[in-house]
Chain A
């Protein structure tokens, strides 16, 4: 019989063995590649490049935290505990159930930080401390575990508490650094954070195991009293399905933006906002929405979030009397609505932050300077083009994993992730190699457009094959296909017109702009979605 620590480690390993193996491989590859490349660089260059090597390690750390927090089963927005309920009936003490994953997570992430400091940054010449960052990382893991394992009893409480509390260890440390306190304080602070987080996680699991969940009766009573029982009927099945999809995932991105964007706008209140700093802050805020869309996309992908089979379509959804193309269309439209609502939130939040911080004057000066330097039409075209691309990218990020979700097979999801990790590792190695071999940069500049052309050709070929299959299986009518092609071409032509107007030909070639638009705009995956859904719906 296995002992509790071995049994708990085995259950985690058994489920995530491929992912954890890949994470370990990425870590080893990054550290080895960094060590090899360092030998050919000057100390200053090595230090600058080591920061690039830290990015994949950071992604590995996030993955490891998710594994040891049981973060792959969770409903973050739900009111219940994310700790797997099946473990509550095991003949183990709560201290064992919670304690071992906390220890494993702390050792894994703390060890990763230790490795990054000792094998990546220090050999590159950055004399960073070893112990307290590792302890702080362990504390951060325990904070996240406590957050995820506490039963809050009310939906959306967890994300709000998370935004308010979970960043405290790291934020506190950053404030302390500004105050220039001693190293021993950092260690004491990190240990204190860990000392607070571990009991919090224990108590969370204990309460979840005992069914001690806060009751929000007054709120439930209020909700029931105000719940509408006689809403207007939907005008069509498509509108009903759009409402269904919107209710299922539509609010995730606007909510994420509302919670996270204010933090990224804090700089407007704290920093000395010269035009370059303000431009950087606003750029980051705008880019953040596109980044968050990728995270929110996970909620779009899951067809069946209330079931154990996350990706399989529920029989309730599968028996809607709609075609696969209509079901896909409802998802895409709901995603478009989520995108637009999110951008309205972004604009309102940024406008409020600009006015409240007084930085709107700096922005006004920047716009005046821009208008003085360029024609009004060009400025407007640039703003429209950038805005359109941001909105398009947000929508694309929101739906780009949808094809995997539509296929409804866990193994497809895993294979795609595996291929993605392999490509990312190879890309990383190639990029790092190119960084230290500037003699090849000219060759890359020559080959680049041809590689782009190849990517465009592959994308168009994939789309053509998908359309052929759609027609053969009669999943989409010719009229719908024609409307889709017209809309796609209209958007692409508009973007092309705007971008060729504002970007001089000598900066970026017109052909490169055209190919970039084709690569940015969703086409092949979009065309294949009804096929994937049909594969899932009619097994």
Chain B
């Protein structure tokens, strides 16, 4: 059943390229106003999923719905409401920044010329510079200007951080995403920089080898995972089998586990195998992802 508050609804989407399964029964939904981070290792299927959302790939099985429409059947109805920054950022090299802005403006009645100029100035882009003469980071900024200037209802950013230096990444990208979200619009962005996703997103989907390992609010994800250090009375050559443990590290009498579940249950489980929890804290998204990807048999990053 489709939730009217969901901007994106993907159901059991599968995509194969030859014998390689890029997406394997992916189901997820993105609520309106969310900052939704798509997290996964290289080749996990993030870009493939985004290309389905844009209608650039046709669902081989399953369904994709954006604003309640099929992006392949109704490209105009969907694309006119989306701002998109592609991973390969293939803006036409022969255009100047001014031409790029003028050209893009024609497609979007909501184009805000003052806002576009402000963004261009903030991103320090010369309107007379040709796209092909820009650095990778400048090209990403140019892509961001034309993706943002018409205040799209949905902003889809595929690896927006690639090519951006750390300062721009932290200050500009973070501010852009926050602004869009504060205006009640929705952001979907993919990244393998997990600290960045953790800093700006409120919902995440973890993709591991084409499957969704988790999809939901970031706070729920973090609240449901715990990093526990368990001490035993004697040395143990290998970690114990503990319900909810996704990954272990350590040695001797002291082992640290990243676990999924309720904390009292996890403590009880540790005591049941002869251990005692001596330290516990909330793990970072990076730790959760590495543990989940490892548990699913994928390469973490």
Interface string of A188-232 (1 = CB under 8 A from B): 000000000000000000000000000000000000100111110
Asked if A319 and B79 sit within 8 Å, CB to CB, the answer is yes
Q: Which residues of A contact B199 (CB under 8 A)?
A: none
Q: Using C-beta atoms within 8 Å of the partner chain, give the interface range for chain B.
A: 20 to 34
In the complex, A230→B120 CA distance in Å? 14
Q: Which residues of B contact A241 (CB under 8 A)?
A: 106
A-B contact pairs, 29 of them (CB 8 A): A224-B128, A229-B98, A230-B98, A234-B103, A234-B106, A235-B106, A239-B106, A240-B107, A244-B92, A247-B95, A304-B90, A306-B90, A315-B54, A315-B86, A315-B88, A316-B90, A318-B54, A321-B76, A321-B80, A321-B107, A321-B108, A322-B76, A323-B76, A324-B75, A474-B73, A537-B56, A538-B75, A539-B57, A539-B58
Per CB-CB distance, the 3 closest pairs between chain A and chain B, nearest first, are A240-B106, A321-B80, A234-B106
A307 within 8 A of B: yes
Asked if A538 and B98 sit within 8 Å, CB to CB, the answer is no
Give which listed residue, B57, B84, B96, B127, contacts A538 with CB less than 8 A: B57
In the complex, A240→B51 CA distance in Å? 24
A401 within 8 A of B: no
Most A-side CB within 10 Å, residue of B58, B103, B127: B103
Q: Which residues of A contact B107 (CB under 8 A)?
A: 237, 240, 320-322
Q: Which residues of A contact B269 (CB under 8 A)?
A: none
Q: Which residues of A contact B57 (CB under 8 A)?
A: 538-539
In the complex, A406→B79 CA distance in Å? 20
A382 within 8 A of B: no
Chain A residues numbered 212-271 whose CB sits less than 8 Å from any CB in chain B = 224, 227-231, 233-237, 239-241, 243-244, 247-248
CB closest chain-B residue, reference A231:
B102
Asked if B91 and A316 sit within 8 Å, CB to CB, the answer is yes
Q: Quote the shortest CB–CB distance from A312 to chain B (angstroms).
A: 10
Asked if A321 and B93 sit within 8 Å, CB to CB, the answer is no
B105 within 8 A of A: yes
In the complex, A239→B106 CA distance in Å? 8
Asked if A240 and B103 sit within 8 Å, CB to CB, the answer is yes
Q: Quote the shortest CB–CB distance from A229 to chain B (angstroms).
A: 4
Asked if A233 and B58 sit within 8 Å, CB to CB, the answer is no
B16 within 8 A of A: no
Q: Contacts A240-B106, A539-B57 known; A315 to B79 CB distance under 8 Å? A: no
B55 within 8 A of A: yes
Q: Which residues of A contact B108 (CB under 8 A)?
A: 321
Q: Which residues of A contact B95 (CB under 8 A)?
A: 247
Chain A: residues with Cβ within 8 Å of the partner, total of 35
Q: Contacts A233-B105, A234-B103, A240-B103 known; A319 to B92 CB distance under 8 Å? A: no
CB closest chain-A residue, reference B59:
A538
Asked if B92 and A315 sit within 8 Å, CB to CB, the answer is no
Q: Which residues of A contact B73 (CB under 8 A)?
A: 474
Q: Which residues of B contact A224 (CB under 8 A)?
A: 128
Interface string of A310-334 (1 = CB under 8 A from B): 0000111011111110000000000
Q: Quote the shortest CB–CB distance from A469 to chain B (angstroms).
A: 15
B115 within 8 A of A: no
Q: Which residues of B contact A474 (CB under 8 A)?
A: 73
B121 within 8 A of A: no
Q: Which residues of A contact B164 (CB under 8 A)?
A: none
Chain B residues numbered 49-94 whose CB sits less than 8 Å from any CB in chain A = 51, 54-58, 72-73, 75-76, 79-80, 82, 84, 86, 88, 90-94
CB closest chain-B residue, reference A224:
B128
Asked if A307 and B76 sit within 8 Å, CB to CB, the answer is no
Asked if B128 and A314 sit within 8 Å, CB to CB, the answer is no
Asked if A323 and B106 sit within 8 Å, CB to CB, the answer is no
Q: Quote the shortest CB–CB distance from A400 to chain B (angstroms).
A: 25
Q: Contacts A537-B56, A538-B55 known; A320 to B79 CB distance under 8 Å? A: yes
In the complex, A316→B139 CA distance in Å? 13
Give which listed residue, A227, A239, A314, A315, contacts B98 with CB less than 8 A: A227
Give which listed residue, A227, A234, A244, A320, contacts B105 with CB less than 8 A: A234
Q: Which residues of A contact B58 (CB under 8 A)?
A: 538-539
Chain B residues numbered 8-23 whose CB sits less than 8 Å from any CB in chain A = none
Chain A residues numbered 62-91 whose CB sits less than 8 Å from any CB in chain B = none
CB closest chain-A residue, reference B127:
A229
In the complex, A321→B80 CA distance in Å? 5
CB closest chain-A residue, reference B105:
A233
Q: Which residues of A contact B106 (CB under 8 A)?
A: 233-237, 239-241
A234-B103, A322-B75, A539-B57 given; name 6 further pairs at CB < 8 Å: A233-B106, A248-B94, A314-B92, A315-B56, A324-B75, A538-B57
Q: Which residues of A contact B86 (CB under 8 A)?
A: 315-316, 319
Chain B residues numbered 97-111 whose CB sits less than 8 Å from any CB in chain A = 98-99, 102-103, 105-108
CB closest chain-B residue, reference A240:
B106
In the complex, A539→B56 CA distance in Å? 6
Asked if B96 and A227 sit within 8 Å, CB to CB, the answer is yes
CB closest chain-A residue, reference B158:
A315
In the complex, A107→B88 CA distance in Å? 42
CB closest chain-A residue, reference B91:
A316
Give which listed residue, A230, A304, A538, contacts B72 with CB less than 8 A: A538
Asked if A316 and B92 sit within 8 Å, CB to CB, the answer is yes
Asked if B128 and A229 sit within 8 Å, CB to CB, the answer is yes
Q: Which residues of B contact A237 (CB under 8 A)?
A: 106-107
In the complex, A399→B88 CA distance in Å? 29
Q: Quote the shortest CB–CB distance from A307 to chain B (angstroms).
A: 6
B118 within 8 A of A: no
Q: Which residues of B contact A538 (CB under 8 A)?
A: 55-58, 72, 75
Q: Contacts A234-B102, A314-B90, A538-B56 known; A227 to B80 CB distance under 8 Å? A: no
Q: Contacts A314-B90, A538-B58 known; A233 to B75 CB distance under 8 Å? A: no
In the complex, A101→B16 CA distance in Å? 40
In the complex, A237→B91 CA distance in Å? 17
CB closest chain-B residue, reference A235:
B106
Q: Which residues of A contact B90 (CB under 8 A)?
A: 304, 306-307, 314-316
B262 within 8 A of A: no
Interface string of A520-539 (1 = CB under 8 A from B): 00000000000000000111
B236 within 8 A of A: no
Asked if B80 and A233 sit within 8 Å, CB to CB, the answer is no
In the complex, A240→B90 CA distance in Å? 18
CB closest chain-B residue, reference A241:
B106
In the complex, A538→B74 CA distance in Å? 11
Q: Contacts A236-B106, A237-B107, A307-B90 known; A321 to B127 CB distance under 8 Å? A: no
Q: Which residues of A contact B84 (CB under 8 A)?
A: 315, 319
In the complex, A248→B82 CA distance in Å? 25
Q: Which residues of B contact A243 (CB under 8 A)?
A: 103
B132 within 8 A of A: yes
Q: Contacts A231-B98, A306-B93 known; A319 to B127 CB distance under 8 Å? A: no
